[in-house]
Each structure stands twice: as structure tokens, then as C-alpha cells.
Amino acid sequence: TMLPAYLRFVRGVVDSDDLPLNVSRETLQNNRQVERIKGALSKRVLDLLDRLVAEGGDRYDTFWREFGTVLKEGVAEDFSHRERILKLLRYPSTRSDGPDQRVSLDDYIARMATGQNEIYYLTAESWKAAVGSPQLEALKARGIEVLLMHERIDEWLASYFTEYQGKRLRNVAKGELDLDALGPDSGQAEREQAAQDAAPLVDRLKALLGGSVKDVRISRRLTDSPACLVLEEHDMALHMQRLLQQAGHGAGPAEPILEINPGHPLIRRLADESDQARASDLGWLLFEQARLASGGGIEDPAAFNARINRLLAS
């Protein structure tokens, strides 16, 4: 083929007087002129896409809806044109009204908040899962825009570009989320006190959930939700782990970290619960709800339903 796989949506005929008459697959694969033609064709297609972007209007949006997922593959496949391809990427964000309202990386950087040095993003298995993710709450409260990468290829793609225009890309659902650079936190003292008060509950949840979680800690991500799951920096997202396991390719699943919001009524109820059985049901439901929100699914749906029924009946 004369074009790389990520440009497979292009069809055409190449007319050249410089190709050898003795045509065979081996000859073409090892011919320098053919390699030059391939490079020129890739450049010409990307030039055309750049012109579509420069023209404005809906033409590039129409192209992206049809072929954007395929073009994303070029970030990993074509290092020589990687920066050009990154400029062509489009994603919805927390400021979008829907999945079809997308922003480029350059436009995102142009409207970054004062003190913001990273490009924040979140990967999810669908638009609704992304836009409703509890991991976004603290950033939304501060007015920080987050790119919502909701296609299956995005989790894989994110491992191939960790920086753009000198700005590090930061998955808001992985690792520690440091918000200090974004300005003073008016509620920090209250949260620190709440964290101290919640220390016994953290220990209780650790003992209850055991090996299902790597750790339990007070969250800086949450403002409205009771809990969320967080992964280590280089762990694969839970929805991708589930897909790989279903396909028979999954390695051992990464243990998530459970983050809790000590100010939430459900967390306070769990802290005050004296009945061990109800406390166990509440703790496991917190974990399973957070797992569902992260796309990880429920390992034992029958037990999940039984816990809900017991709590509703009590």
C-alpha cells in the first residue's frame, strides 16, 4: 500500500514515470522512489486536512465524525508526522454541550486557566460515562476544562502522547491530583479536619474491602459524590481492563484506590453505623458504585442486588 494504515480512508491512483518496469512486490518494497512517493502522499493528505481546518466551517467536523478514530492511529504509527496529527485531533470537553462539540489541543491550551500547566483529560467507555464521572467534580468547581476522551482507542492512544506544546497531559482519574498550582483552596482547613475525623472510617473500609482495593484515602477530587476509584499513573483504565478480560487477553487486574468524600451524608452514615452487617453492606456498595461509574462493572451482580435490597428494606 502507498499510504500508512491511519490514512486508509484515502483512495486514488498514483501516476509516476519513475517506477521500475520490472514490477514485483519485493521490488516495490525496496525501491527508494516508492518510499519517497509514500512520504509525499502522506504529507499531501495532511496538507489537505490542514486546509480544511483553516477554511473553518463544518467540512473538517464532517471529516472528523467519519474518520477521526482512524486518524488517531497515526499518533502511534507515524512519528515523523506526529505533531501535525496531534494538531488535527479533536475532543469534546467539560465545556461542550454534547459529544459532537469538540475542541483542538491548541484551542484548549489557549484558554487554560491561570496557573494551569497541564492538559487535563479523562478516558471513559462512553460520552455519558465521561461527562458524569465523579473524578471531574473538583476541577469543574474550579472552572478547569477537562478533555473527555470517550472512544475505545483513546485509552491506548493516551500512552503514546504524554506531552503537547510543552504541556504535560494529565489523566484526572489516575495518580494524585495536585490542585495547589490552580490557586488557593478556601476549604482546605475544613477538609484537613474532616480527613482527621475520618481516619477511623478509612481504616474500617480498608479492613472491610481487603484485597479489592490497594488503598483507601480522603479525596481531593470529589465535591458531590461519596466515593470514586483512582488508579496508579500507569495502570490501564477499568473499562479497558474489562474489555481485555472479556476478549481473553486480560492480565491480572490492577487494584484501584478508593477515594472517599468525608462530607457526604452517605459517608457520615457509614462512619456512624454501629451495626456491622449494615456497615459492611454500605461499604461494599460504595466500592461497587464507584466501580460502575469507572466502567469496571460488577463482579457479583447477585450480591450487589442483595445488598441494595437489604438496605432498602431496613
Structural domain includes residue 269: yes
Q: Is residue 121 part of a domain?
A: yes
Burial bucket for residue 156 (CB in 10 Å: 0-12, 13-18, 19+): middle
Q: What is the pLDDT of residue 235?
A: 82
Does 306 lie in the same domain as 192? yes
- In this predicted structure, what is the pLDDT of residue 132? 94
Phi, psi of 260 (to 5 degrees): -120, 155
* Residue 193 located in a structural domain: yes
Is 150 contained in some domain?
yes
243/199 same-domain check: yes
Answer yes or no: pTM beyond 0.85: yes
76 belongs to a structural domain: yes
Q: Looking at residue 28, what is its pLDDT?
A: 58
CA atoms of 259 and 73, how far apart (whole Å): 33
Same domain flag for 112 and 167: yes
Task: Based on the fold, state whether residues 64 and 42 are members of the same structural domain.
Answer: yes
For residue 71, give the CATH number of its domain. Answer: 3.30.230.80
Q: Which pLDDT score is estimated for 12?
A: 84
Give a three-class secondary structure readout of the chain.
CCCCHHHCCCCCCCCCCCCCCCCCHHHHHCCHHHHHHHHHHHHHHHHHHHHHHHHCCCHHHHHHHHHHHHHHCHHHHCHHHHHHHHHHCCEEECCCCCCCCEECHHHHHHCCCCCCCEEEEEECCCHHHHHCCHHHHHHHHCCCCCEEECCHHHHHHHCCCCEECCEEEEECCECCCCCHHHCCCCCHHHHHHHHHHCHHHHHHHHHHHHHHCCEEEECCCCCCCCEEEEECCCCCCHHHHHHHHHCCCCCCCCCCEEEECCCCHHHHHHHHCCCHHHHHHHHHHHHHHHHHHCCCCCCCHHHHHHHHHHHHHC
Which residue, among 100, 85, 98, 92, has the nearest Cα to 53 in the 3D structure? 85
Whether 103 and 147 share a structural domain: yes
Task: Provide the CATH number for the domain around residue 94.
Answer: 3.40.50.11260
Q: Which residues of the chain have pLDDT under 50?
A: none
Does the residue 182 lie in any domain?
no
Tell me the longest C-alpha to C-alpha distance in the chain.
86
Same domain, 27 and 130: no
pLDDT of residue 22: 62
All three cell numbers of 41, joined, read 502522499
Q: Phi and psi at residue 87, in whole multiples of 5°?
A: -65, -25
User: Is position 101 within any domain?
Assistant: yes
What tens digit of pLDDT does each residue of 253-305 get?
678 999 999 989 999 999 999 999 999 999 999 999 999 998 888 889 999 99
- The total of structural domains in the chain comes to 3
In this structure, the answer to whether residues 192 and 307 fall within a common structural domain is yes
Residue 127 in any domain: the answer is: yes
Q: Return the pLDDT at 25.
A: 60
Specify the pLDDT at position 20.
Answer: 64
Tell me, yes or no, whether 286 and 301 share the same domain.
yes
CATH code: domain of residue 258: 1.20.120.790
Domain with 64, as residue range(s), is: 1-10+20-88
Among residues 44, 67, 88, the one where a domain terminates is: 88
